[in-house]
Chain A
Amino acid sequence: MLKKRDDFEDMLEERRNSSDLRYALRCYTPLLYRGVTPCTSSSLKSMVLQSDHIHYVINQVSKEMGRDTDDVQEEASAILEEMAQHLQLSTVRFFAFTLSKIFKTLFKSICVNEEGIQRLQQAIQEHPVVLLPSHRSYMDFLLMSYILYTYDLALPVIAAGMDFMGMKIVGEMLRMSGAFFIRRSFGGDKLYWAVFSEYVKTMLRNGFAPIEFFLEGTRSRTSKSLTPKLGLLNIVLDPFFKGEVFDINVVPVSISYERILEEALYARELLGVPKPKESTSALFKARKVLSEDYGSIHVYFGQPVSVRSLAHGRVNRCQFNLRPRHIPKRPREDIHNFVNDSAYRLVRAQEENMALKPWVLLATLLLQNQAVGQNQVMALDELSEQAVWLRDLSWQYGAFLLWPDNTPPSEVVFSSLSLHHGLVRISEGRVQLALEQERRAGPGEPSCNLTPEEGLLSEAVIILSCASYRNQGLHIFVRPALLASAILTASSNKKQEVFNSFSFLRNMFSNEFILCPGATVQDFEEACYLLVKTGALQVTQQEFLVTERGHRTVAFLASMLDPFLQGYQVVCRFLCEEATETLTEKQFIPAVRKFIIKHLLAGRLRYTEVLSSDLQKNTLAALLRLGAVRKIKGAEQEALKVNKVMVNSLEDTLGGKLPTQETVVARL
C-alpha cells in the first residue's frame, strides 16, 4: 500500500544563503513547449478576437439581441481587456524578490519534490501543460509561480477569481505576473463564455505557457478537498477532443501547509462572519501575520497525466467530425462523464500526494477526545501513545505522512503542539484544546461578558480550526470510515447488509468527500481490503466480523465520520421541524445556524463542528441531489420545497434507526 514517493528538497535553504536580489535578477531561460508559437500577450488577444469562434458568437449575439456587430465586438474586446493576463518578467522578478523575503520570515522551509520538477520540465516540452494545484490559501498561486521561477520552468498563466481585481495595485501586479481574471458567475452570458474559453484555449493550443487553475474552484475553507468544478477543465480538454493538440499533460500539484495563514479567518467565515472583501489595505493590515511562525510548506508535483491515455477508449472523438469545431456546442453525455471522472481522479491524485504532518493526527485525536466529554484534558504521554498508533495505521492505509525519523514520539508531539499554540494548551504534561483562552480575549472583540452564544462561537472557531487540520488526513480514512460506520449501523453482519449501508452512506456523503462517481464497489472493496489487511476485520463468505483488536480501529474510524453524520441529521431535523413554504436558499444557512446554536446550547448535540456552514451547504446539496428537497421557482426567489417524509426517513437511516434500502449490485 505504501506508494513510492519522491523526496523533498527545501528551496528556501538556498535563499537563506545567497542574495535575493541576485536571485531575482538572474538569467531566466526556461525550456518551452517544442511546438510553441511564440507570441506576445497582446498578439494573443488579437488572435482570440479574430478567431472563428468569437466571430461566430459575436454574430449570434448581435442577431439575437438586435445589436450592432461592432458594438458586440467592442464588448468582447472589453471583456478580454478585463480578463487578460499581461505576464512581464520584471514583475515576476519583483515578486521573486519580495516573496523570498516574506517566505523566509513566515516559513521554516518550502519543500519541493525535485523529481516532480524534472518530470514537469519534460512534460512542458512535450505537450501543452495544465497545472492543477490544490487550493488552501491565497498563497497558492504566488507560491506556484515562485517555485517555477526558481527552477527555471516556464511561468504559468493562472485563472484567478475576479475578486482579486478589487485590490487596486496588487490586482494589476498579479496580472503582470501571469494571472487572468474570471468573473465568479456569468451564467448565461454567451459572449463572456466564448471570450473566456477561446482565450484559455488559444493559450493552450499555442503552448504559450502552462495553464494553471484550481479544480476545486475556490479555496477550501475546511482543508477538505472540494468536489471539482468542471468548467475550466472542460475548456482545457476541448482542444484535445477536437484534435487541435496531440495531447495535454495535466499535472496535479499538492500543496500542504503545516499551518494555514487564513486558519482563523476560515473558521470565522464558516461560522457566518462574512469574509472581508479583498482590498489592498486589508492585506496591509494582515501584515501582522508576518510575525508568526507558519512551519513549513510541502509542494508535491505529481506524475503528469496524459489526457490522451486517460481518454483512450472512453471518448469517441469522431463526434466532432460533423460540425465545424468553432461552433460552440454543449458537450455530449460521454464527454461530460469523462471530464467529471477525470476531475475526480485528479483531485484524488492531489489528495494522495498531500504531505501530512504529525499535527494532522494530533488534531484528529484531540478533537475526538474533546467530543467524548466537554473538553477533556489528555496526558501528553497518552496522546503520544495514541499518535504512534494512528501513525502506524495511516501508514498502513498509504498515507503520505511525514513523521520525523529518529526522534522520540513525545518530542514530535510536543513540537507539533507548540507550533499550533493558538489552538492547544499544554500545562503540567497535559494537553487540551484552547477553548477558554479564546473566550478570554478574542482579538477585536469585547473582552468580557460574552453571551453564551458568543462563547459558543468563539469555542467553535478553535474547533473548526482544528477540524481543518484533521480534514487534511480525511481522505486516507474516509473509505474505511464509511465501512466502519456501515458495520456499526447495519442491522446485521451480513455482507449484503453492510454493503447496502455503506453504499447509502457513500451516496449521502458524495458532496462532502471526494468519492469518484460510480466507484461504489471499488471503494467498498478498497475499504474491506484495508480493514482486513490491518487485522481489524475478518470476512467470511457471507459475513463481516470485527476482530478483538479491530474494535479500537473501527471505533476510531466510525467516530471520524460521526460529526458529519450528526451534522447531516441535524440539518434534516431542521428541515422537518422548521422549514416553511417560503424558505429560500439564501435564508437557509442563517436559519439552520440558529437552529443548531439552540440545540448546542441545550446540550443536545455533541459536535460543535456541525456549525460549519460548509457541512450545512453540503447537506443541502446532497438532499437536492437525492430529490428530498427541490427548488421551486417562486415570484421573486427560488424557494426550497422540502419532502418531509423523505428527509425524515433519510435522517432516521443516517441515525441507524431505519435499515437501508436494498441496493442492487451485480457482483460484490
Chain B
Amino acid sequence: MAFSSIGGSPDRQRVAQERLKIIARHLQRPGDGDSAIVAAECKAQGSKSDASSERRTVPRRRQEIMKWNGWGYSDSRFLFNKKGQAEFTGKRYRLSGMIIPALKDWMESTFGASMQHKTSATPVLNTSAVQPPNLNDAFVEELKSTGIPFSCDAEDRTFRSHGHCLHEIFALREGKFGRVPDMVVWPSCHNDVVKIVELACKHNVCLIPYGGGTSVSSALECPREETRSIISLDTSQMNRILWIDEKNLTAHVEAGIVGQDLERLLNESGYCTGHEPDSMEFSSLGGWVATRASGMKKNIYGNIEDLIIHIKMVTPQGVIEKSCQGPRMSTGPDIYHFIMGSEGTLGVVTEVTMKIRPMPEYQKYGSVVFPNFEQGVACLREVAKQRCAPASIRLMDNEQFKFGHALKPQVSSIFTSFLDGLKKFYITKFKGFDPNRLCVATLLFEGDREKVLQHEKQVYDIAAKFGGLAAGEDNGQRGYMLTFVIAYLRDLGMDYYVIGESFETSVPWDRVLDICRNVKARIVRECKEKGVQFPPLSTCRVTQTYDAGACVYFYFAFNYRGLSNPIHVYEQVEHAAREEILANGGSLSHHHGVGKLRKEWMRETVSSVGMGMLKSVKDYVDPHNIFGNRNLL
C-alpha cells in the first residue's frame, strides 16, 4: 500500500512510529472505535481506494464517550481530590492521572475562588426538559425510504444544539435547553447528503450542518425565529480517507473526519496534513473549511485555505466543485473562497482534496524566557521578518506564564525540583528578570534533524538579541499541552464560580503591543464597572506570526460570586473587549469565525457592498434559506 510505494525504508517506518508516539502524547487513541455504520452503496463507491483504517473516534451516539455539558471525553476532567489537590482523571493525556499541586493556590489567588464555594452542574441530562421535536412528517417519511440513519432522541438532539461558547455550556450545566434541532441525520457519504438536501428543499425544512461541535461563535445555536423543522446534519460518519495521491501529495477525504483521525490515518501511511488547530481532537475537516480554520503549525503547512486543493459542496442549487486539481487558477474570483468561511449557510462540504506532506523526521520543542512582553513581541516580529518562524511559535504574557506554571504536575524526584529551583534562581536572581514581568515563548520545530537543529540555533540567536534566554524543552511542551487541557479547566472553574472564555484576533505588527495592553485593560475596567467583585484574569498570547502581523489570543475569566446574572455580565465584557479589539485595528476574527456571536460587526468589517456581495451569493445558492443557521450575515 501507501508505505511501500515511497521506497518504505525501515527508517521511514521508525520515523512514522516516533511521530505516532508524539501525537499520542496528547491524543491517545480511544479504546475502541465505533464500528462504522456505512451505507452499503457508499462503501461500494469508495471501497477500492479507501486507504483508511476502520477505527474512528466519534460514534453516532456522542454521549457514549463525551460529556453532555462540558468539554471533551467523559472520562477526562479536573477535580479536587479528597486531599484537596487538583487532579486530572482518565488515561488519555500526558497529564492524565497526575496531581497538579499548584493549581489550587493559583485558582485561589488569581480568582479569589474558594474550595468551600462550589456550584455543581446538573448531573444528568433531563430529557423531559427538552422540547418535543417539531417534525415534518412528509420529510420524515421520504427520509426513511432512503435508509439514511436518523434520530429524534432528546439526547442526540441536545448534543447538536450547541457549540462551546460559555453561555451555551453554562446553560447546559444549569439544565436549561433552548431550541434544539428536531432531528439528527447521519449521512455516510456525499450521495446521502445530496439526497438529504434534495428532500429538505422539497419539504422546506431547515438544515444545520454539524461537524465536531467545537464552535465558539454560537454558530450551532438554532435560531429562535426558525419555525420550520430543524434537521441537524451530522457529518461525523463521513470520515474516510477516500484516496491518497502520492505523486501529487494530496489526499481526498470525506469532510466529516475529525482532526485526530485524519492525522492518525495519514500517519499510518507516512503522511500528515500538518493542520493542527487546538480543537483537532474533535473538530472536523468540513468545519475547518466552513470557518477558515488555522492550525498551530501553519508556518510550515499553511492555514486551511493554503491546504485545500478541491472542495465538493452540496447546496440547494446542486453540487459545487471545480473541474480539475490545478494548484492555482486564474478563473475569476476563487469560488472556494465563497465556501471557506461560509459557516454552513450555503451547503454541506462533503469531500475535500487537501495537500499532504511526508511526516517530519524530527520534532523538537523549545522555549525562551524574555524579561518582558515587549521584548518578546519584538523578537517574534524579527523572526517573522526573517521568515524563519518554526512550525509554531507562541508568546505567552506574564499571567499566562504563571498559569502554565500552576499546571506543572507533581515532580517525581527531589532532583527535578532542585533543578527547577536552580533555574528559577538563575533567571530571576542572576539574570535579573522580574518574575512579575517576564514572559515565555514556546517553540516547536519540525523537519530534518539537521535542519531543525540549525533552525533552532537561528531562532535562539535572534531571541538572544532581545534578551531572551533558552528555557528548555519542557516548558515548551507544557505550553502546548495547555492548549489541549484549557477547555477542561474551564469546566473545573465553573464548578467554583469561575467563568471564562478565550477569543482571538489578528492585527498588524505595529499594533500588537497596543492591542494586548488595551484589551486586557478594557476587560479589567469593564469587570470593575459591571460590579464583578474579584479582579478578573485577563491575559493574552501571540499565537501565530505572519509577514504583516500576528494572531493574538485572549483568555478572560472571573469569579462571579455576588453577581445575579453572571452570563449577562460576561457577555457585556466580551462585547466591550471585541469593540476594543476593533478600535485597535484588530480583525473580527482570525480563525474562530463570526457565527451569530459576532454578526453585528460584519457590516463594518466588510463594508456594505461586501455584505451585499455575500448576501447575493446566499440568495442565489440558497434562496429558501434551507441552510438556515443564520450565521455570518
A interface vs B, CB < 8 Å? Answer: 242-244, 246-247, 316-318, 320-321, 324-325
Query: 5 A-B contacts, Cβ less than 8 Å apart?
Result: A243-B511, A243-B514, A243-B585, A244-B514, A318-B583
Residues of B contacting A242 with CB < 8 Å? Answer: 514
CA–CA, A325 and B582, complex, Å: 15
Task: Indicate which residue in A243, A247, A324 contacts B584 across the interface (CB closer than 8 Å).
Answer: A243
The reply to whether B583 and A317 form a contact with Cβ atoms under 8 Å apart is yes
Distance between B55 CB and nearest chain A CB, rounded to angstroms: 48
Q: Which residue of B lies closest to A205 (CB)?
A: B514
Task: Indicate which residue in B510, B515, B518, B583 contacts A325 across the interface (CB closer than 8 Å).
Answer: B510
Task: Indicate which residue in B510, B517, B522, B582 contacts A324 across the interface (CB closer than 8 Å).
Answer: B510
Distance between A198 CB and nearest chain B CB, rounded to angstroms: 16
CA–CA, A244 and B585, complex, Å: 11
Distance between A35 CB and nearest chain B CB, rounded to angstroms: 8
The reply to whether A320 and B585 form a contact with Cβ atoms under 8 Å apart is yes
Q: Which residue of A lies closest to B515 (CB)?
A: A243
B521 CB within 8 Å of chain A: yes
B604 CB within 8 Å of chain A: yes
* Centre residue among A246, A317, A318 by max chain B CB count within 10 A: A246
CA–CA, A317 and B582, complex, Å: 8
Residues of B contacting A243 with CB < 8 Å? Answer: 511, 514-515, 518, 583-585
CA–CA, A243 and B604, complex, Å: 19
Residues of A contacting B510 with CB < 8 Å? Answer: 324-325
The reply to whether B521 and A318 form a contact with Cβ atoms under 8 Å apart is no
Q: Which residue of A lies closest to B605 (CB)?
A: A318
CA–CA, A246 and B583, complex, Å: 11
Distance between B234 CB and nearest chain A CB, rounded to angstroms: 39
Give a binary string over B515-536; 1 marks a CB under 8 Å from any A CB, 0 the rest. 1011001100000000000000
Distance between A495 CB and nearest chain B CB, rounded to angstroms: 40
The reply to whether B522 and A246 form a contact with Cβ atoms under 8 Å apart is yes
Distance between B197 CB and nearest chain A CB, rounded to angstroms: 39
Contacting residues of chain B (575-590) with chain A, CB-CB under 8 angstroms? 582-585
The reply to whether B585 and A321 form a contact with Cβ atoms under 8 Å apart is yes
B interface vs A, CB < 8 Å? Answer: 510-511, 514-515, 517-518, 521-522, 582-585, 604
Residues of B contacting A244 with CB < 8 Å? Answer: 514
CA–CA, A37 and B518, complex, Å: 17
CA–CA, A318 and B604, complex, Å: 10
Residues of A contacting B521 with CB < 8 Å? Answer: 246-247
CA–CA, A244 and B584, complex, Å: 9
Q: Which residue of B lies closest to A311 (CB)?
A: B583
Residues of A contacting B585 with CB < 8 Å? Answer: 243, 318, 320-321
CA–CA, A317 and B511, complex, Å: 13
Q: A246-B521, A318-B604 are in contact. List 20 more A-B contacts (CB 8 A).
A: A243-B511, A243-B514, A243-B515, A243-B518, A243-B584, A244-B514, A246-B517, A246-B518, A246-B522, A247-B521, A316-B583, A317-B583, A317-B584, A318-B582, A318-B583, A318-B585, A320-B585, A321-B585, A324-B510, A325-B510
Q: Which residue of B lies closest to A317 (CB)?
A: B583
CA–CA, A247 and B526, complex, Å: 13
Closest 10 pairs (CB-CB, A-B): A317-B583, A246-B521, A243-B584, A321-B585, A243-B514, A246-B518, A243-B518, A244-B514, A318-B583, A318-B582
Q: Which residue of A lies closest to B511 (CB)?
A: A243
Residues of B contacting A316 with CB < 8 Å? Answer: 583
* Centre residue among B518, B521, B583, B584 by max chain A CB count within 10 A: B583
CA–CA, A246 and B511, complex, Å: 13
Residues of B contacting A325 with CB < 8 Å? Answer: 510
Distance between A317 CB and nearest chain B CB, rounded to angstroms: 4
Residues of A contacting B582 with CB < 8 Å? Answer: 318
Residues of B contacting A246 with CB < 8 Å? Answer: 517-518, 521-522
Residues of B contacting A321 with CB < 8 Å? Answer: 585
Residues of A contacting B583 with CB < 8 Å? Answer: 243, 316-318
Q: Which residue of A lies closest to B582 (CB)?
A: A318
Distance between B508 CB and nearest chain A CB, rounded to angstroms: 9
Q: Which residue of A lies closest to B585 (CB)?
A: A321
Residues of A contacting B518 with CB < 8 Å? Answer: 243, 246
CA–CA, A246 and B584, complex, Å: 10
CA–CA, A320 and B510, complex, Å: 12
Q: Which residue of B lies closest to A35 (CB)?
A: B517
Residues of B contacting A318 with CB < 8 Å? Answer: 582-583, 585, 604
Distance between B339 CB and nearest chain A CB, rounded to angstroms: 28
Residues of A contacting B604 with CB < 8 Å? Answer: 318
Distance between A637 CB and nearest chain B CB, rounded to angstroms: 46
CA–CA, A413 and B191, complex, Å: 100
Residues of A contacting B522 with CB < 8 Å? Answer: 246
CA–CA, A321 and B522, complex, Å: 19
* Centre residue among A243, A247, A320 by max chain B CB count within 10 A: A243
Residues of A contacting B517 with CB < 8 Å? Answer: 246
Distance between A468 CB and nearest chain B CB, rounded to angstroms: 43
Distance between A307 CB and nearest chain B CB, rounded to angstroms: 13
Distance between B245 CB and nearest chain A CB, rounded to angstroms: 42
Distance between B590 CB and nearest chain A CB, rounded to angstroms: 15
CA–CA, A316 and B604, complex, Å: 11
Residues of A contacting B515 with CB < 8 Å? Answer: 243
Residues of B contacting A317 with CB < 8 Å? Answer: 583-584
CA–CA, A226 and B155, complex, Å: 72
Distance between A626 CB and nearest chain B CB, rounded to angstroms: 38
Q: Which residue of B lies closest to A306 (CB)?
A: B525
CA–CA, A276 and B234, complex, Å: 87
Residues of A contacting B514 with CB < 8 Å? Answer: 242-244
CA–CA, A316 and B582, complex, Å: 10
Q: Which residue of A lies closest to B522 (CB)?
A: A246
CA–CA, A422 and B582, complex, Å: 62
CA–CA, A124 and B585, complex, Å: 27
CA–CA, A105 and B521, complex, Å: 48
Q: Which residue of A lies closest to B514 (CB)?
A: A243
Distance between A417 CB and nearest chain B CB, rounded to angstroms: 51
Distance between A309 CB and nearest chain B CB, rounded to angstroms: 10
Q: Which residue of B lies closest to A324 (CB)?
A: B510
CA–CA, A320 and B514, complex, Å: 13
Distance between B576 CB and nearest chain A CB, rounded to angstroms: 10
Distance between B273 CB and nearest chain A CB, rounded to angstroms: 34
Distance between B34 CB and nearest chain A CB, rounded to angstroms: 48
Distance between B556 CB and nearest chain A CB, rounded to angstroms: 16
Distance between B384 CB and nearest chain A CB, rounded to angstroms: 17
Distance between A212 CB and nearest chain B CB, rounded to angstroms: 24
Q: Which residue of A lies closest to B584 (CB)?
A: A243
CA–CA, A244 and B511, complex, Å: 8
CA–CA, A188 and B407, complex, Å: 59
CA–CA, A318 and B584, complex, Å: 7
Residues of B contacting A324 with CB < 8 Å? Answer: 510
Distance between B375 CB and nearest chain A CB, rounded to angstroms: 12
CA–CA, A272 and B398, complex, Å: 63
CA–CA, A475 and B631, complex, Å: 55
CA–CA, A247 and B517, complex, Å: 11
Q: Which residue of B lies closest to A240 (CB)?
A: B518
CA–CA, A268 and B53, complex, Å: 99
Q: Which residue of B lies closest to A308 (CB)?
A: B525
Residues of B contacting A247 with CB < 8 Å? Answer: 521
Residues of B contacting A320 with CB < 8 Å? Answer: 585
Distance between B399 CB and nearest chain A CB, rounded to angstroms: 15
Residues of A contacting B511 with CB < 8 Å? Answer: 243
Q: Which residue of B lies closest to A315 (CB)?
A: B583
CA–CA, A349 and B582, complex, Å: 32
CA–CA, A244 and B518, complex, Å: 8
CA–CA, A247 and B511, complex, Å: 16
CA–CA, A318 and B515, complex, Å: 13
Q: Which residue of A lies closest to B521 (CB)?
A: A246
CA–CA, A493 and B517, complex, Å: 58
CA–CA, A324 and B522, complex, Å: 23
Distance between A30 CB and nearest chain B CB, rounded to angstroms: 21
